[in-house]
Structure 1
Amino acid sequence: MAKLNWGMIGGGLGSQIGPAHRLGALADGHFTLAAGALDHRPDVGRDYAQSLGIAPDRAYGDWREMLMGERNRPDRCDLVTVATPNATHFDITKAFLEAGFHVLCEKPMTMTVEEGEEIVRIAARSGRICAVNYCYSAYPMIRQARAMVRAGDIGAVRLVVTNFSHGHHGDAADAENPRVRWRYDPAVAGVSGQFADCGIHALHMASFICDDQVETLSADFASTLPSRTLEDDAMVNFRLSRGTVGRLWTSSVAIGRQHGFDIQVFGETGGLRWASEQPNQLIYTPLGGRTQIIEKGESGLCDDAKRLSRVAIAHPEGFPLAVANIYCDLADAIRGTPRDGLPLAEAGLRSMAAVHSAVASARAKGAWVDARPPMFR
């Protein structure tokens, strides 16, 4: 099967997320890195793209140049990844969708709910795929957890508790570091800091495993460093549409926590627990029974968990291969086989609606608010 042509915008030299995308996209032989506009400094971006093997005529200075250069090529990109700062996601994603490209956008997909609704409409109108990189939902054992909930293995879900909390922005002396500061700058990050950065991964995961959507929420935000305009700690209570109770904590000042992303799902007849720092294991406790460890690679897993595992049991598959699973699902979808677990623009829109609702709730001292985007109410 011929490889698909892939292009990348952002994610250049020194980027935190760029290497994960390149490792992920190229891991399974589905894509070739054919084009890129990798840096906001045109010459740096061109040089770095060529160092990665991109041909000089497809090593672009910026995304607009890449759009013009790719749109009429017979071998143009099949998929474009947007891994630029938050405030640029909407314009780039919109332009490439309208030009007929499939797009994978980093989260948050947009800065506003209205922009998110427009992306959903453009994707539907164009017939192009717009996916959002909620890559944690592509870990094999998360797909297993979702399958078990769908199969009724833990009964109706009563409660979901999740958090994404780390301490890597807890040093006040490091607050002006450019790699940290932008996350709390409204001009770049938008209306929310930590919740929009990490909390929406946890919120998406709750919806994904429970196979349900957030309907209402109540939020408390805190900026524990006085220099920060946006929150670095948030507590969000929420309700899913079928009545499941949700609890979410996210923080960037929890010194001592490293990655700190985990989730617990409690049903009528059992419970599940998963942590990103031990991603190969899903902990399952049936009502009245012994706690069990379900391992990636063991027999009897759901089809998605088996399909998205590459190496034998007890061999770890980490974050880049979770990103790779998103690219596997994208490759299948582009070739005509849609994958149920692929997070599409609708997921990005719901996350942005939840962000704006949480901001409104926090400003109203925790008032419960509707978390759904207007087009889905």
Structure 2
Amino acid sequence: MAQRLSWGMVGGGEGSQIGPAHRLGAQADGLYAFVAGALDADPEKGRAYARSLGIAPDRAYGDWREMLAGERGRDNRIDLVTVATPNATHFEITKGFLEAGFNVLCEKPMTMTVEEGEEIVRVARKSGKVCAVNYCYSAYPMIRQMRAMVAAGDLGAIRCVVANFSHGHHAAGDDAENPRVRWRYDPAQAGVSGQMADCGIHALHLASFILGDEVERLSADFASTVPGRVLEDDAMVSFRTSRGTVGRLWTSTIALGRQHGLDIQIFGETGGLRWASEQPNQVYYHRLGGRVEIIEKGEAGIFPEAARLSRVAIAHPEGFPLAVANIYVDLAAAIRGEATGALPSAEDGLRSMAAVHAAVASAGAQGAWVDARPPMFR
């Protein structure tokens, strides 16, 4: 087995929602050693928590700048850094580590603006380092199965894709002061968009990923249904891809009765596919003129792209932390120069942010159709 890669984190400290998923995911396969971290906005808390996780005191840093300076000068510096800090800080941290020659995995959204996203793409290309974005839902084995089936022509030409990421966990009108809710609707902390930038871009990326296609133009309708919210808590987006596929996307935080609420359907000339994150082991496949088939994770005959990421025996569930782990599997391969063709890249992060800003512009113009591509890709 190849020597483990050295890995560090910025953010994701004690009490973080995403930090444990990264630590579980990165270490699930023995591919990485967790050796460095600046884990909290409070320097002393961050250092203490890093030490409690087994990081040596001299690599338990107070902030990301201290970590960058400390790791840059080491002979055994980290091979990869994960940026899991608040959204508004992603750009400067990701750029700083890329410019210093580190591989980076950034939480989504990669940046707050399209201009920042284009800068990250330019810096990543110049550095020659891997810059990935944690669109981890694309790493579920059965999402890889769907992507492979579309690429193989099993559905014929794709006519329509319908994606949802809608839940009801922010439906209460009396949680306005809940800090885990409040920031999502505050432009100073979340940027130009609430739910579309938080969850909608996951669904939009999933559609592009499965189709192997890009969103070219879109029309959006945003709504803030709970009084006091500045940014949207419900959004409907129609879009067209570069190959002309019709797209529909609904994302919401006030959909009472829906829990996680991420699902996607692909409709082609000769077949259709359906997947939901709450039942991630199955893809429903309907051939034209035939019965619905259920394709199971881990069964014989699935595409290699899905089989390589199916970790446990058939009928045993593989959930979110192992989807994150699959991102780290692909990252290790990319860092070692082995092409996977499926790792969400800085270009994907840029396209997502361009789509968010396009949706904001469209919603502000009563649903006018707008170009969803970043300027550097037009």
User: TM class, shorter-chain normalised?
Assistant: over 0.9
For 1:61 and 1:328, the matched residues in 2 are separated by 28
Answer yes or no: is 1:155 the counterpart of 2:156: yes
Q: Distance in 1 between matches of 2:165 and 2:65?
A: 35
Whether 1:326 aligns to 2:323 is no
Matches within 5 A, 1:8-27: 8-27=9-28
What letter matches 2:162 in structure 1?
V
1:217 aligns with 2:221: no
Cα deviation per residue 1:240-272 (whole Å; 9 max; x = unaligned)? Answer: 011100000000111111000000000000000
Q: Could you give the per-residue CA deviations for residues 280-302 of structure 1, whole angstroms, max 9, x where no partner exists?
A: 00000000000000000001111
Question: Is this contact kept in 2: 1:38–1:49, CA < 8 A?
Answer: yes
Please, which runs of 5 or more residues in structure 1 have no aligned partner? Answer: none
Q: TM-score, normalised by structure 1?
A: 0.99
Match of 2:275 in 1: 274
- Work out whether residues 96 and 103 of structure 1, in 8 Å CA contact, stay in contact via their aligned partners in 2: yes
CA distance in 2, matches of 1:177, 1:305: 39
- The amino acid that maps onto 2:115 is E
Q: CA deviation at 1:213?
A: 0.3
Shift of 1:225: 1.2
Aligned to 2:191: 190
Amino acid at match of 2:25: G
Which residue number in structure 2 is paired with residue 134 of structure 1? 135
TM superposition shift of 1:173:
1.3
> Which residue of 2 is the match for residue 376 of structure 1?
377
Equivalent residue runs for 1:290-301 within 5 Å: 290-301=291-302
1:176 Cα deviation from its structure 2 partner:
1.2
- Distance in 1, matches of 2:43 and 2:257, equals 39
Q: Distance in 2 between matches of 1:129 and 1:175?
A: 39
Q: Report the residue type matching 1:129 in the other structure.
A: V
- Determine the C-alpha separation between the residues in 1 that align with 2:16 and 2:8: 16
| Mapped partners of 1:162, 1:180: distance in 2 | 24
What is the CA distance between 1:226 and its match in structure 2?
1.7
Q: CA RMSD in A?
A: 0.5
Show the counterpart of 1:285.
286
Determine the structure 1 residue equivalent to 2:8: 7
Equivalent-residue separation in structure 1 for 2:315 and 2:365 (angstroms): 48
Q: 1:357 corresponds to which letter in structure 2?
A: A
Superposition deviation, residue 52 in structure 1: 0.6
Equivalent residue for 1:29? 30
1:87, distance to aligned residue in structure 2 (A):
0.2
Deviation string for 1:290-343 (max 9, x for gaps)? 000000000111111111111110011100000000000000111110211100
What SS does structure 1 have at the residue aligned with 2:76? coil
Query: Residue 174 of structure 1 aligns to a residue in which SS?
Result: coil
Other-structure match for 1:102: 103
Q: Which runs of 5+ in 2 are unaligned?
A: none
Counterpart amino acid of residue 24 in structure 2: L
Residue identity opposite 2:86 in structure 1:
P
Q: Distance in 2 between matches of 1:129 and 1:187?
A: 30
**Does 1:236 find its partner at 2:243?**
no
Contact 2:173 2:227 in 1 (8 A): no
Q: How many residues align?
A: 377
Give the Cα–Cα distance (whole angstroms) in 2 for the partners of residues 246 and 363 of structure 1: 20
Matched residues in 1 for 2:88 and 2:199: separation? Answer: 16
SS in structure 2 of the partner of residue 328 of structure 1: helix
Kindly provide the amino acid, as one letter, of the partner of residue 207 in structure 2.
A
Instruction: State the alpha-carbon separation in 1 of the partners of residues 111 and 340 from structure 2.
Output: 23
**1:113 CA displacement:** 0.4
**Residue deviations 1:165-209 (CA, integer Å, cap 9, x gap):** 011111111121111111111111110000000000000000011
2-structure distance, mates of 1:245, 1:176: 39
What is the CA–CA distance in structure 2 between the aligned matches of 1:231 and 1:33, rounded to whole Å? 38
Secondary structure of residue in 2 paired with 1:137 = helix
Residues in 2 aligned to 1:338 and 1:6: alpha-carbon distance in whole angstroms? 20
Deviations 1:78-119 (A, max 9, x none): 000000000000000000000000000000000000100010
Q: 1:169·1:175 contact (CA, 8 Å) conserved in 2? A: no
Determine the C-alpha separation between the residues in 1 that align with 2:230 and 2:274: 34
| Superposed displacement of residue 72, structure 1 | 1.0
Partner SS, residue 174 of structure 2: helix
- Residues 133-170 of structure 1: CA distance to partner in whole angstroms, max 9, x if unpaired? 00000000000000000000000000000100011111
Structure 1 stretch 238-247 or stretch 174-183: which is displaced more? 174-183
Partner of 2:339: 338
Question: Is contact 1:10–1:82 with CA below 8 Å preserved after alignment?
Answer: yes
- Extract structure 1 runs of 4+ deviating beyond 6 A: none
- Give the letter aligned to residue 330 of structure 1: L
Q: Residue 325 of structure 2: SS of its match in structure 1?
A: helix
* Corresponding position of 1:201: 202
* Structure 2: distance between partners of 1:285 and 1:213: 24
Separation in 1, partners of 2:123, 2:263: 34
SS at 1:172 equivalent: coil
Number of the residue aligned with 1:123: 124
Task: Work out the percentage of aligned pairs sharing the same amino acid.
Answer: 78
